[in-house]
Structure 1
Amino acid sequence: MKQLSLDNLRTLVSIVDLGSFNKAGEALGRSQPAISLQVKKLERQLGKRLFSKVGQSYQLNADGVYVYEQAKIMLSINDEVFKTFTGQQNLRGRLRLGIPSEFASTLLPSIVGEFSQRYPDVSLDVTSSLSRDLLSSSKRKDFDLILALSKDIPSERGEVLIEDDLVWAGDSTLKLNKSALQLVLAPEGCVYRSRVIDMLKQQTQPWRITYTHADLYGLIAAIKQGLGVTALAKSSLPPELVSVKDKRLPALGKINICLFNQDTQHPQVSKTLSEYIRARIK
């Protein structure tokens, strides 16, 4: 199997980008004869001339243009791989992450395992709580990164990762109570709770809250015991629950899942973990 020399390809790209063999040699620390030799080796390997003489200068011909474009792609991949692994060796520090409990159960296992394995010198300090508490003025300063739910577009250091659907969630064997809708909800201050109550107040369907718990696992346990239904962002729906549809259940609309990056002490660590979270919120 033949293999192209990335060194020769980088020389070709440098000649084209810098405009001459001389300038390419200066940039790469090689003499002009050495640069010319690399081009000739590349041409011999491909069995094609890549430059045509025009007047006193050499310009890429059609084959040369094709090789030049492909060389840029190959060099970009090569450089990105080295950039990634060089960054891994240098990435270190402590990062404080705030995350809603329902995302902690579905998102953290893959992030903590893979991220920690790739960046062993980064210490993750994770806190799960209601979005309202994570973003409060008294708690917000305690975190470098915050994943949170928001009804509005964030205006301060925040980006919307996705606009997600809010869905009713329950057990697969659920049978809704005919007299009154039974609700299993997080405490007051939860975005889901507020949306559910607001939407139900607009209807005549009777309802009551049968169980309140701040942690998703507590809510799941109650739902599995038949205590009612809850509401969750579609992307955070755990495997233990299913999306429930019934004419008595009003549409809950959408919610913004946002990421707030406020770390100035270890910006590269925050940036890297942000990319992990962004890739997994779909």
Structure 2
Amino acid sequence: MTSLRGEWLAAFVAVVEARSFTDAAKRLCRTQSAVSMQIRQLESATGQTLLLRERNGVIPSTAGERLLPHARRSTEALHDAATLFDDDEAAAGPLRIGIPEEYAGTAWPGLLSRFQRSQPRVELSVTCASSDRIEAAMDQGALDLGILVADDDQRSGETLLHDPTWWAMAETLELPESGPLPLVLFDQACWWRQWALDRVSDTGHEWRIAYTGDSIAGVAAAIQAGLGIGVLGRSTLPTGVRPVPTALGLPDLPGSRLMLNVTAPDAPGATEMSNLVRQHFSFATASPSAGAAVHSKGRDR
């Protein structure tokens, strides 16, 4: 029977989630060479190649995909066992946090799961909404911690990252040599729609609206599918999406900032959650491909 060590499995899970040996090493507080050694030992023990290096980062092989759910369960069980006899005075009670829609993608469930495992007595309540709604809820005392997208200097807080905004298109999209540019935009409720149309018109390009959506996920998916060009944040470009050619002459776009606001620092687990969020976005800043989620200039921010 093959014998697998817990630290090997933890390193494997960290590399898959970070899509990078470097970022996995930071997450585990180890050197990159140590993580690489543990992966080699795991592959030697299983007799399988478990990770593949692709242009967009490190991904699991077919064998790695089979191992991943078991590795996650084992890593979580070891973590739970390690915290079994932690101080009984650990934080307990409700913690209410708000996350903007742009950043509530696949990375967040894992982050929240890690927090809940480390703080089992904290009653976590998560609200996913626009930044305007999150800000209003914090002002009303309905949230203890909130993350906001700021397009200007009117919002205050701790800056987690600066995110340039790019005109983006699918790698497979072939733009027409003549005729109107296909655009993927939000509906009329979003002020960025008219801004984008004005900027394209200023260049002298003809345009046509190929897709209109009322959600960030829908617009990002349409760009990824090659229906046209649109606006996305650099740190969270989906797989298969790249900046439009500079030859189009489209003007630079103002970027945005992701802000952390803690309105109730004494709330149970608020300090731990803040530290986890900072750590998460430090990885995203260092490795854009490991970003938080689809981010697009969108509706009532």
Instruction: Answer whether TM exceeds 0.5 for this pair.
Output: yes
Kept after mapping to 2: 8 A contact 1:192/1:232: no
The offset of 1:265, in angstroms, is 5.9
CA distance in 1, matches of 2:192, 2:234: 12
The offset of 1:119, in angstroms, is 1.6
Q: Per-residue CA shift, 1:11-34, capped at 9, x if unaligned?
A: xxxxxxxxxxxxxxxxxxxxxxxx
Distance 1:200 1:127, change over 3 A: farther
Q: Mean alpha-carbon deviation: is it higher for 182-191 or for 270-279?
A: 182-191
The offset of 1:195, in angstroms, is 5.7
The offset of 1:246, in angstroms, is 3.7
Query: Which residue is 1:161 aligned to?
Result: 160
Kept after mapping to 2: 8 A contact 1:169/1:229: yes
CA distance in 2, matches of 1:154, 1:89: 39
Query: Which residue is 1:113 aligned to?
Result: 113
Q: Per-residue CA shift, 1:202-258, capped at 9, x if unaligned?
A: 432233443333433322332344322222222222335334434223321322121
For the pair 1:172 / 2:171, whether they are aligned, the reply is: yes
CA distance in 2, matches of 1:279, 1:124: 19
Query: Which residue is 1:254 aligned to?
Result: 255
The offset of 1:153, in angstroms, is 3.0
Q: Which secondary structure state, in structure 2, belongs to the residue aligned with residue 175 of structure 1?
A: coil
Query: Which residue is 1:183 aligned to?
Result: 183
CA distance in 2, matches of 1:109, 1:125: 13
Query: Which residue is 1:94 aligned to?
Result: 94
Query: Which residue is 1:226 aligned to?
Result: 226
Distance 1:109 1:195, change over 3 A: farther
Kept after mapping to 2: 8 A contact 1:180/1:208: yes
Kept after mapping to 1: 8 A contact 2:119/2:269: no
Query: Which residue is 1:67 aligned to?
Result: none
Kept after mapping to 1: 8 A contact 2:138/2:263: no
The offset of 1:103, in angstroms, is 1.2
Counterpart code for 1:280: H
Kept after mapping to 2: 8 A contact 1:154/1:258: no
Kept after mapping to 2: 8 A contact 1:161/1:257: yes
Q: Which secondary structure state, in structure 1, belongs to the residue aligned with residue 117 of structure 2?
A: helix
The offset of 1:173, in angstroms, is 0.6
The offset of 1:160, in angstroms, is 1.7
Distance 1:272 1:219, change over 3 A: same
CA distance in 2, matches of 1:175, 1:271: 48
CA distance in 1, matches of 2:192, 2:87: 39
The offset of 1:108, in angstroms, is 0.6
Q: Which secondary structure state, in structure 1, belongs to the residue aligned with residue 238 of structure 2?
A: coil
CA distance in 1, matches of 2:217, 2:88: 34
Structure 2 unaligned segments of length 5 or more: list them.
Answer: 1-84, 286-301
Counterpart code for 1:233: G
1:1-282 equivalence runs, <5 A = 90-135=90-135, 137=136, 141=140, 142-154=142-154, 156=156, 158-177=157-176, 178-187=178-187, 193=193, 196-197=196-197, 199-200=199-200, 202-239=202-239, 241-248=241-248, 249-263=250-264, 266=267, 269-281=269-281, 282=285
Distance 1:233 1:95, change over 3 A: farther
Instruction: Please say which structure displays the higher CA radius of gyration.
Output: 1
Q: Per-residue CA shift, 1:40-94, capped at 9, x if unaligned?
A: xxxxxxxxxxxxxxxxxxxxxxxxxxxxxxxxxxxxxxxxxxxxx9679612332
Q: Which secondary structure state, in structure 2, belongs to the residue aligned with residue 239 of structure 1?
A: coil
Kept after mapping to 2: 8 A contact 1:100/1:128: yes
Q: Which secondary structure state, in structure 1, belongs to the residue aligned with residue 153 of structure 2?
A: coil
Q: Per-residue CA shift, 1:247-282, capped at 9, x if unaligned?
A: 22332132212122222561x522221221222222
RMSD, aligned CA: 3.2
Counterpart code for 1:169: A
Q: Which secondary structure state, in structure 1, belongs to the residue aligned with residue 104 of structure 2?
A: helix
CA distance in 1, matches of 2:116, 2:240: 26
CA distance in 2, matches of 1:198, 1:163: 25
The offset of 1:166, in angstroms, is 0.9
Kept after mapping to 2: 8 A contact 1:193/1:231: no
Kept after mapping to 2: 8 A contact 1:168/1:245: no
Query: What's the TM-score, normalizing by structure 1?
Result: 0.57
CA distance in 1, matches of 2:110, 2:239: 15
Query: What's the TM-score, normalizing by structure 2?
Result: 0.54
The offset of 1:132, in angstroms, is 3.3
Kept after mapping to 2: 8 A contact 1:220/1:240: no
Kept after mapping to 1: 8 A contact 2:170/2:240: yes
Kept after mapping to 1: 8 A contact 2:138/2:144: no
CA distance in 1, matches of 2:188, 2:91: 39
